[in-house]
Amino acid sequence: MSYRSGLIFALAASTAAFAAKCTPKPKVVDPTVSGTPQVLGIVTDPSLNRDSCNSVKFQNRVLWTCRDTQPVGLDGKPTLPIWDTSASWTDLDADGNPAVQPLSNGTNALLMYGANDARQPFFPLLPGECNDNSAGMCPDGTRYALWHDTAPMVASGADGGVLTAYTWVRKSHIKGDFSTDDPDPATTLYKMTYDPNSGHDALPSVSVVDENFWLYGGLPYGAYGNVVKDGIAYLYGKPSNNNIVLAKVPIGSVEDKSQYQYWVNGAWTSTMPSLADSASANIPNVSAGGQGTYYFSDAWNSYVWIGQAGISVSADFFITTAPSPEGPWAQPKQFYSGENGNFMFGAYSLQAHPELVTGGKNEIYLTYTKNDVIDDNVAVYSTPLIKVQWQ
């Protein structure tokens, strides 16, 4: 190398080092609630008793997907059958806000609707999952509980035409006490297709991309949460050891596992870690440990997670933020507590609903499952809808 070339190289290296030192660190957002959060009403189809609902915007309205669902009898009590999962629509008003309306009983509600007469799981139970009944109940008293933890992820058609979306669901096989001999089951990838010309009450069709998209004993990327930004889907997974892991894939290549990259030891790699190596992929503070929602906040220019603590049956909402999907994430902090139900599992399945926020407003909508007991030990679910404004 000549003296001149060496000098240029040294100057370039020095300039790069100086620029790195002078580049400001990403701003860490510290969310603070403004005023008192407002309980707007409940999200409901009065004819159905529904557990653990989440939501995503499908063009000009909102699709809700829920876990265990039952019809409500004329006496107001839930009855049989139970079906594993269900889905419904809710409307937005002219300003894009949730169309909450008063009911004749004096309560306010965001009304759900849709074609649920078939009473079959929205995410189909597959052969080998005791699918001869809508609840996934097996002859030995166990059950295939395909209880999704996160809302569908829209991949295309958000602004019109045929829309496609995906959901990853762990093939959970549980006993009557909710324990399992298979803590890390395979994960099924479901695909939703929605044609806006299919009718007002028609729900998206659901197909199976791969019932073992993530293999038994592996890491369930996407089942714990997802967020899409700049054409990239970021997919969070939480196996039984509670290490929360992250993968990314171009939004148009969700079905192609060869296009995935994985966050391991502080860098992206095309080699997927194993469950045994997941500690090297764990992201500190990326959640409070329980169910919740990931999204990107335009108001904060930040990634956000809102949800519940790892072991909790209370409506205590936590939040953490980060400048990028892989972090660094702030220490989760509690910012709101809702009213718990009177059942032993009083509140759970805490969710955020960023799709209900319009125009970049600095606010968020929340829901959770409130579980109450009426009459002779009959459990009923409700879904309070809360609006939180930030400072």
Q: Does the predicted model carry a pTM greater than 0.85?
A: yes
Q: What is the pLDDT of residues 246-255, one digit of tens each?
A: 999 999 999 9
| Dihedral sign computed on CA atoms, order 258, 259, 262, 266 | positive
Q: What is the pLDDT of residues 114-134, one digit of tens each?
A: 999 999 999 999 999 999 999
Q: Which region among 21-30, 150-159, 211-220, 226-235 has the lowest average model confidence (pLDDT)?
A: 21-30
pLDDT at 11 over 50: no
pLDDT at 1 over 80: no
Per-position b or e across 26-61, b if 16+ CB within 10 A of its CB? eeebebeeeeebeebbbbbbeebbbbbbbbbbbeee
Looking up tokens 């196996």 gives: 239
| Dihedral sign computed on CA atoms, order 139, 148, 177, 211 | positive
pLDDT at 201 over 90: yes
pLDDT at 181 over 90: yes
Q: What is the pLDDT of residues 286-317, one digit of tens each?
A: 999 999 999 999 999 999 999 999 989 999 99
Contact 386, 366 (CB under 8 A): yes
Strand pairing class (38-44; 108-111): parallel
Q: What is the pLDDT of residues 264-282, one digit of tens each?
A: 999 999 999 999 999 999 9
pLDDT at 377: 86
Please give the structure tokens belonging to residue 371. 């579980």
DSSP state of 278: G
pLDDT at 22 over 60: no
Average of pLDDT values for 233-251?
99
Per-position b or e across 206-217, b if 16+ CB within 10 A of its CB? beeeebebbeee
pLDDT at 12: 42
Q: CB under 8 Å to 132, separation ≥6 — which residues?
A: none
For residue 55, the Cα-to-chain-centroid distance in whole angstroms is 8
Q: What is the dihedral of CA 372, 373, 378, 379, to 10 degrees?
A: 20
